Structure 1
Amino acid sequence: MKNIYNTNLYKVTYFILIFLGLITLFNNVYAAGILAGTSIKNTVEVTYFINDSTDQSKTEYASSAFTVDEIINVSVVSLDTPARVVATPATDVVLSYQITNTGNGNEAYKLEMNPLVSGDEFEPNNLKLWIETNDLPGLQSTDTPYINAIASSSIATDNEGHPLLTADQSIIAYIEATIPPLLNKDDEGHVALSAVSTTPGATTKPLGGVLENVGDKGTALVNLVELGTASAVGIYQVSPVQLNLHKTVLSVVDPFGGDTVITNAKVTYQINIDVVGDNGTIEQIVIQDPTPDNMNYIAGSMFLNGTALSDQQDADVGDFNQSRHDAITLSLGDVSAPTSHVLTISYKIN
């Protein structure tokens, strides 16, 4: 299409092509979905004729560019909703949290626990902080303790040992605590976990505050969380009765009588089921344990408190591949506190 504009001197035709969208003019430009340090370029191309000439058209270009600044934004979420039910007293009870870097750059965060949260009835004590590093759900001894810093090669850290998270990366943290005795039913103990940016100056800046030249690739850094810090509160709630479940590898026996983890080795798991508390009953307990990947269940290897259980659905409380495909099912029914059960099952590595 050709539009001709008459002037005293010229008839000029303009054909304008705009590439790469809108030029945004701000002193500091940031976007949560774009990595800090990314250069965004914009180009305008103008093609025109002079005096309605049939000569070859002329073309001019104009460009502008800016660099996306870094934002500090972090999310901390309690994974125990609405609360972690505990007995009184109790030891080594765990709250779980997820920490996510929702900013657009690499950022290290120091993790801080605080049991002195208002609005509860007791203070959990003997707090210990762990980071999930073994890729198994829940806290195990093979996860990594966090004592002012992390000593683990499986998670990136800054020079002081604090978790260094890339944009959108999440980690799981666990707080392990002791619950005092003689508490009342429904009493709550609150524990806050905070993720605090380790960038110098970030904890002095309010929401929207800017730190120049300290972001990734020398960009400005903008706080999208107040004082570079986010927190979440996990809740322990007292119940007169609680069920604790733990699973461990009891033994490994390879075909040569050793304990190497190789093809055809026999692996025996132990599952502890503990109903704890001063009184009360846990009702309709059903435990199901699917066969692990790359393993096969060994027929007749299910034992409860040392007594063999059949693999069929019959008079005893266990079965395999009956109630659920390729899984152990243990139907304990109603169990009153205090009661403990030990289940052992064996598999062969493919």
Structure 2
Amino acid sequence: MADHRSTSSPAGLRVRFAGQAGKCLLAAMLLLGSAFATAASAASAAAGTPIHNTVTMSYVQGGSTLTGTASTSFVVDQLVDVTTTWQDAKPVQAAAGSAAQTLLFRVTNPGNGNDSYKLVPTALPASGSDFAVDQCQLFLDQDHNGIRSANDPEYVPGSNDPVLAAGDHMDVFVLCALPATANDGTFAQVRLAATSNTFSGTPGSAKPSAGIPGMNVVVGMSSGSSSSNGTYQASSVSYQFTSTQRVTDKSGGSVATSGSHILYTLIVTADGGSAIGRNLVVTNPMPEHTTYVPGSLTLDSASLGDSNTDSDAGDFNITATNAISVRLGNVPGSASPHTITFEVTIN
């Protein structure tokens, strides 16, 4: 395996090696041990690093002090290893029938030399009431910010396999499509596998001159291949919307005539789905032949201002012309109903 040498002085000191098989095994064990040491070692020795050792011996014979030295040296082999981890903190929610939904993975080179890796995504089969995704594509995080962007190239096996220095990593985006038949709250899994292009096999196995030019390689604990599963969750949400009106005339009755007030009550109710509707806005233009009553807008019994200079969620005639607008924000399917009221006067 590694390049071992020994020398001895004329004083008679000798250094003995085991056979070639023993030297290969010793090199593999030393390399694996150094790669996984923690407190005992600040960092793994880089592939190709020369290791020299010199021993000195002195002794007295016939009134004279004799000395001798012996040296050994070898070059550190390349450790081939890889780890793959799913980076999303929880299942990625997406609507049934949606395409190009993103999972984030990270491929890391824990070895001691440059290596490149082949990436393979696999949509795992559906189990029980869950579903399977399809149309999976891979994109490499070229700008290293963990956010999918137009600068990130699509991965093409054998063409742009990620090349990682020792200790470096590459984030990988896996984009898949959910079937239209996926039920709300069910799950699907995708596996991303990364395999060293240099060498893979049983941990500790070795291959001469297969790594960095001139270097022998030893397989690390990952066997040179690693995979991790990411999870999608099919999610949906919808809202029911009702509008009621109550007329009050000037005499306190309910006659709809000029000068009468109309109180409109709008109720937004979530359907209980697992998704979150984002940036939900309710807009109601004023009915023809009516005039908005200033300051009459409320949300869940709390008064809202008519301008957009205040910090509340409502306005009149600003977000939309001659209309009230109420910004409900992100509303999950489990949210309680929201009630909006406002008044107009019949012209």
Same fold? TM cut 0.5? yes
Other-structure match for 1:19? none
Deviations 1:26-61 (A, max 9, x none): 2544132111111111111224444455xxx54321
Whether the 8 Å contact between 1:86 and 1:241 is mirrored in structure 2 is: no
Q: Distance in 2 between matches of 1:280 and 1:187?
A: 10
Q: Distance in 1 between matches of 2:183 and 2:174?
A: 22
1:116 and 2:124 equivalent? yes
Where structure 2 has 5 or more consecutive residues not aligned to the other structure, the ranges are 1-21, 36-43, 239-269, 280-305, 316-326, 334-347
Deviations 1:226-283 (A, max 9, x none): 65321111111122349xxxxxxxxxxxxxxxxxxxxxxxxxxxxxxxxx99956639
Q: Secondary structure at the match of 1:97?
A: strand
Other-structure match for 1:221? 217
Counterpart code for 2:209: N
1:2-151 alignment, distance < 5 Å: 26=26, 28=28, 29-30=30-31, 31-32=34-35, 33-52=44-63, 58-117=66-125, 119=127, 121-149=130-158
Seq. identity, % = 26
Q: Secondary structure at the match of 2:104?
A: strand
Q: Distance in 1 between matches of 2:125 and 2:203?
A: 23
Deviations 1:291-320 (A, max 9, x none): xxxxxxxxxxxxxxxx9954xx622479xx
Counterpart code for 1:232: S
1:204-215 alignment, distance < 5 Å: 205-215=201-211
Change (3 A) 1:308 1:234: farther
Whether the 8 Å contact between 1:133 and 1:143 is mirrored in structure 2 is: yes
Q: Which has the larger radius of gyration?
A: 2
Change (3 A) 1:139 1:309: farther
Whether the 8 Å contact between 1:132 and 1:143 is mirrored in structure 2 is: yes
2:311 alignment partner, one of 298, 301, 314: 314
Q: Which has the higher strand share?
A: 1
Cα RMSD after superposing both structures: 3.5
2:276 alignment partner, one of 251, 273, 282: 282
Where structure 1 has 5 or more consecutive residues not aligned to the other structure, the ranges are 1-23, 150-159, 243-275, 286-306, 319-330, 338-350
Deviations 1:143-184 (A, max 9, x none): 1111325xxxxxxxxxx4311111111000001111111322
Change (3 A) 1:317 1:168: farther
Whether the 8 Å contact between 1:92 and 1:177 is mirrored in structure 2 is: yes
1:120-269 alignment, distance < 5 Å: 121-149=130-158, 160-199=159-198, 202-203=199-200, 205-225=201-221, 228-241=224-237
Counterpart code for 2:311: D
Counterpart code for 1:162: D
Q: Distance in 1 between matches of 2:154 and 2:224?
A: 24
Q: How many residues align?
A: 231
Q: Distance in 2 between matches of 1:143 and 1:109?
A: 17
For normalisation by structure 2, the TM-score amounts to 0.57
Q: Secondary structure at the match of 1:216?
A: coil
Counterpart code for 1:39: P
Other-structure match for 2:12? none
Whether the 8 Å contact between 1:78 and 1:232 is mirrored in structure 2 is: yes
For normalisation by structure 1, the TM-score amounts to 0.57
Counterpart code for 2:175: E
1:91, distance to aligned residue in structure 2 (A): 2.3
Counterpart code for 2:197: T
Q: Distance in 2 between matches of 1:284 and 1:142?
A: 27
